[in-house]
Structure 1
């Protein structure tokens, strides 16, 4: 019979890491983890190599913890009550602006049209349907702002800043097969586009009310 130590040393799979990432996001929504803790644990989960490393990330959380070799589902079963995520989402800033913040379900492709009021997409607590999300930006007058956690990769090779320009204020990340990120297309228009990490106010707001 395999003892606990030998189980902890077994190599984890992508599905195992996904289970832990989902539990950490749920814990943040329940108020058990603040934003800094969530980001730090998500980075460790995505780079974890063994069951032991994953188990340490959920050891202080109630409910199901990290997967074990005997209990790991393959593949992950979808949640019965969850509505399917559309293949594409269009968000229009219009006159008053539009945003997606907190917990929301991000499809693999998003079209963000800044309009007059601008568009803000905060992916800090978003539930992703793909490891790489394509965001087609039409900046318009108001521009588009994208907020991403630390550790995300940003691919802007197919994006044109136009008159408003483009600012990538995130830390540079060399992506691998486990790295989440955004692939930007379209153009910034007059308002331009900005990609950044959460600012101090956004961090404080999420700490007070993660949901």
Structure 2
């Protein structure tokens, strides 16, 4: 098999990007990356097209004990995901199919079902459409957003493909997430509509539960390191100091 470094122009697969993302999640949990660095690198990972794009992302991070991880050219089976469970299909058009904000705001977030077509309108107001924990009525959904002197924010989880087709006049649609390949079986979100003196943004974020899990893992790692340092310090103390410390602890318990 050709060495990875000798083939930087080879196209990377979804599985390759997901393996790099897993290294980044481990690095965040271990405290090697802060949340801002993690999100920047994760964003670059899902935008990467070749092995040459992926390799620098984890060059300074360990991979299961390896000092300089490289993306493997050996194709592995795709990991089973949960997208099939979240694309519910059927005749149901979704929990909600429209929203309006006139000098106010709206939110669609949490556990809800995104319909095949969701229409929303914001005038001197704003709206948020958060798909991170949503189910999908179909494998492809359309979000039609009209923003007049207002704004609409669409939040998608990693793995979802985004296509932006909106038109802006003295306003605009965010195309940063367009072109990021989707995971196998993941839904496709098409963002369309019209923006006049307003904007429609698209952002890719981790689900809240995943963020919380990573924070808890990082907190647990810090606690374990602190306890280990304390044990090492106690082990290095002379015996008479350790006996004195044990006596103090017995007195405290009394």
Moved more, 122-131 or 160-169: 160-169
Relative contact order, higher structure (CA 8 A, sep 6+): 1
Please give the alpha-carbon distance, in whole angstroms, between the structure 2 residues aligned to 1:142 and 1:153: 25
Q: Give TM-score scaled by structure 2 length.
A: 0.44
SS at 2:174 equivalent: strand
Structure-2 residue corresponding to 1:18: none
1:161 equivalent among 157, 162, 168: 168
RMSD: 3.8
Please give the alpha-carbon distance, in whole angstroms, between the structure 1 residues aligned to 2:135 and 2:199: 26
Structure-2 residue corresponding to 1:207: 212
In the TM superposition, what is the alpha-carbon distance from 1:143 to its structure 2 partner? 1.2
SS at 2:158 equivalent: coil
Please give the alpha-carbon distance, in whole angstroms, between the structure 2 residues aligned to 1:148 and 1:122: 6
Q: Give TM-score scaled by structure 1 length.
A: 0.53
Indicate if the aligned counterparts of 2:159 and 2:181 stay in contact, CA closer than 8 A.
Answer: no
Please give the alpha-carbon distance, in whole angstroms, between the structure 1 residues aligned to 2:147 and 2:209: 28
Structure-2 residue corresponding to 1:186: 193
Please give the alpha-carbon distance, in whole angstroms, between the structure 1 residues aligned to 2:113 and 2:175: 23
In the TM superposition, what is the alpha-carbon distance from 1:100 to its structure 2 partner? 0.7
In the TM superposition, what is the alpha-carbon distance from 1:87 to its structure 2 partner? 9.4
- Does residue 98 (structure 1) correspond to residue 106 (structure 2)? The answer is yes
Please give the alpha-carbon distance, in whole angstroms, between the structure 2 residues aligned to 1:104 and 1:77: 14
Structure ranking higher in helix proportion? 2
Runs of at least 5 residues in structure 2 that lack an aligned partner in the other structure: 1-37, 39-45, 47-75, 83-87, 214-254
Q: How many residues align?
A: 136
Please give the alpha-carbon distance, in whole angstroms, between the structure 2 residues aligned to 1:88 and 1:176: 25
Please give the alpha-carbon distance, in whole angstroms, between the structure 2 residues aligned to 1:135 and 1:198: 18
Indicate if the aligned counterparts of 1:110 and 1:135 stay in contact, CA closer than 8 A.
Answer: yes
Runs of 4+ in 1 over 2 A off after TM superposition: 83-88, 168-179, 202-208
Please give the alpha-carbon distance, in whole angstroms, between the structure 2 residues aligned to 1:111 and 1:151: 23
- Does residue 89 (structure 1) correspond to residue 104 (structure 2)? The answer is no
Find the structure with the greater CA-based Rg.
Answer: 2
In the TM superposition, what is the alpha-carbon distance from 1:108 to its structure 2 partner? 0.4
Runs of at least 5 residues in structure 1 that lack an aligned partner in the other structure: 1-35, 37-42, 59-75
**Are the structure 2 counterparts of residues 105 and 134 from structure 1 closer, same or farther at C-alpha, using a change threshold of 3 Å?**
same
CA deviation profile, 1:24-64 (whole Å, cap 9, x unmatched): xxxxxxxxxxxx9xxxxxx9xxxx957xx43xx79xxxxxx
Please give the alpha-carbon distance, in whole angstroms, between the structure 2 residues aligned to 1:193 and 1:145: 6
Please give the alpha-carbon distance, in whole angstroms, between the structure 2 residues aligned to 1:160 and 1:171: 15
